[in-house]
Structure 1
Amino acid sequence: MTIAGVVVVLVFAYWFVGGFSQNRDTGMRGRSKNNLKQIGLGFHNWNEVFSRLPTPYAQLPDGTPLLADPTKRLSWRVSLLPFIDQGNLYKQFKLDEAWDGPINGPLGRTRVSVYSDGVRSDPSGDQTPYRVFVGGGALFDENQPIALADVTDGLSNTIMTIEAGETVPWAQYNELPFDPAASLPPLGGSFRDVILVGMADGSVREVKKSVDPQVLKAAITARGGESLPWRW
């Protein structure tokens, strides 16, 4: 083969591999965005039924935590199961048992497609990158759940769920503590340049990882009164 022929083959191979990788990334990103939309719809349906959002951990109807130890509590992702077409799985959970207990542990290793981004390695099937911010004026609070109607910053301007930098077992209550004065935790990770964010109106945004942290913090608060730039 001539040098020119080798060059043509190499260029074609580069184009083919690059195009395949880009198409795969686009497909995976679309799947993850759809997951966040399904989770957002689940939250909206919960709000419709209970006139408020859930706390970030499973609780009794009156708001009482089922377990005193926060590290053993079941996540909001368990509470949301009936609202994402996983009611049969929800019924099997023992809500007053630890997330990794003898009954709940095996259930938590059930792969729930809506909670899996399909990108990061997850041999056990129990990992999720989709988490919420808790406290500090965020949409979720351990002690005082709010209704979507009480979000004064606007639902389209308020972050509901986010693709975190670290995955956690989906059944475990292990969220992102929010302090406006502190640094944000690692975010994103599934995709190189963007963080996928589910907004409180049910939409999903692709936010650049280079976004100003102060802008992101303003979007995390539900009633902070901050102004967001038109494009962020």
Structure 2
Amino acid sequence: MASGSAGRVKFRLGTIAYVFALLAAAMATFGPVAGIILGGLILAGWYDVVSGRRGVGPLALVGTLGFTALVLLPPFIANASNAARRNDCLSNLKQILLGLSNYESANGAFPPAYVADAEGKPMHSWRVLILPYMEQKQLYDQYDFDEPWDGPNNRKLWDQIPYFYSCKGCERCRDLGGEPFGKMPGNASNYVAVVGDATAWPEGKQVKWSDLADGSSQTLLILEHSGITKPWTAPVDLTMDEAIEQLTHNDAHGHVSVDESLIAATFDGSWRMVGFCDAHVMDLPAGLSEEAARALLTIAGGESLDNDPESWLGERAAPRLVKVIRYERVYGLLAFVGLAIWPGVRRWRRA
């Protein structure tokens, strides 16, 4: 009696361990929801066989759903998530442009690129100056303008980066360990100004609407960038030459697009979102001609651009794509397949 009881307990514990192992492998491979569904269907199918019913229909359903989840479901979810991340970044850019417009309406000019100390050293970024115009007055009031951006008080705000300064594509890239975009810290801004005498952000001066001789609809105000490594409060942006480099080269740090499959992820930063002085936004491909890039960045250069962005392109090269193999998914998939067929292997060996 004792021996039989011990055998039944061992069997039950082994079954419970198998169930948890299969579900864990399924969730690690396909995600929590899809993993539980797929693992549950496989367990139901094996229960059908072990209980003696041997129903062909449930097993066929399990196999069909398993194949669908394995091949189709992860890419579909990933591509939908990528589109959602892109829309979030466009929304961020529009909100920043609205904040800059509200600042201009209240002060008669756009904010300076930075506020400098008596010696001309940059102290405070425009990203801090526009906070009250973006429903962030409480955060703005915590900032101390009597000390630099990296002073003891202002350091406390580094990790309180407003959501509209972060692109979710970069966040996903960090989660997956993609290089080089994954090196960007989570408290750095993805949206920068272009600082230079001929731009909308001249050093030591504020630009008014009347200064936009080239037209507000053809003058860049904000550029998306995935290469800044300092916190969002730092008065760090791009120079004119750096911005031209970003706009004319395919492997630059633009909007991070993440295309995911079940076991791999590909990162592309060759497109960038830009915002204009009239508050409209646009997706620009990398590889603009230098003439077009300079025309977009200057406020009174006298350049003329037509309304077809395709004509702005220069000599284009293939974009640099960074691919990462998701080894945790590979190992999870191997474990899942092994566990899924294990009951059948045991039955075959016993037979």
Q: TM-score range by the shorter chain?
A: 0.7 to 0.9
Counterpart secondary structure, 2:164: helix
- Counterpart of 2:164 in structure 1 is 114
1:160–1:198: 8 Å Cα contact kept in structure 2? yes
Equivalences for residues 31-50 of structure 1 within 5 A: 31-50=88-107
Residues 1:158 and 2:224 are matched in the alignment: no
Q: CA deviation at 1:189?
A: 4.2
Residues 1:51 and 2:108 are matched in the alignment: yes
Q: CA deviation at 1:96?
A: 2.5
Moved more, 169-178 or 189-198: 189-198
- Counterpart of 1:170 in structure 2 is 232
Q: Which amino acid aligns with 1:188?
A: G
Distance change (3 Å), C-alpha of 1:8 and 1:67:
farther
Gaps of 5+ in 1: 1-5, 59-64
Q: Which amino acid aligns with 2:254?
A: G
Q: TM-score, normalised by structure 1?
A: 0.84
Distance change (3 Å), C-alpha of 1:169 and 1:205:
same
Q: CA deviation at 1:19?
A: 2.4
Query: In structure 1, what is the Cα distance between the partners aligned to 2:121 and 2:68?
Result: 55
Query: In structure 1, what is the Cα distance between the partners aligned to 2:225 and 2:138?
Result: 28
Q: Which amino acid aligns with 1:175?
A: D
Q: CA deviation at 1:213?
A: 3.4
- Counterpart of 2:119 in structure 1 is 68
- Counterpart of 1:132 in structure 2 is 193
1:70–1:173: 8 Å Cα contact kept in structure 2? no
2:197–2:203: 8 Å Cα contact kept in structure 1? no
Distance change (3 Å), C-alpha of 1:223 and 1:148:
same
- Counterpart of 2:205 in structure 1 is 144
Q: TM-score, normalised by structure 2?
A: 0.57
Aligned-residue identity in percent = 27
1:67–1:97: 8 Å Cα contact kept in structure 2? no
- Counterpart of 1:3 in structure 2 is none
Aligned residues: 220
Counterpart secondary structure, 1:20: helix
Counterpart secondary structure, 1:160: strand
Query: In structure 1, what is the Cα distance between the partners aligned to 2:101 and 2:244?
Result: 29
Counterpart secondary structure, 1:74: strand
- Counterpart of 2:283 in structure 1 is 206
Query: In structure 2, what is the Cα distance between the partners aligned to 1:36 and 1:189?
Result: 12
Cα deviation 1:23-70 (Å, max 9, x = unaligned): 111111110111110110111111111111111113xxxxxx346363
Rg larger in structure = 2
Query: In structure 2, what is the Cα distance between the partners aligned to 1:93 and 1:160?
Result: 24
Higher relative contact order (CA 8 A, sep 6+): 1
Gaps of 5+ in 2: 1-62, 175-183, 247-251, 258-267, 310-351
Moved more, 28-37 or 184-193: 184-193
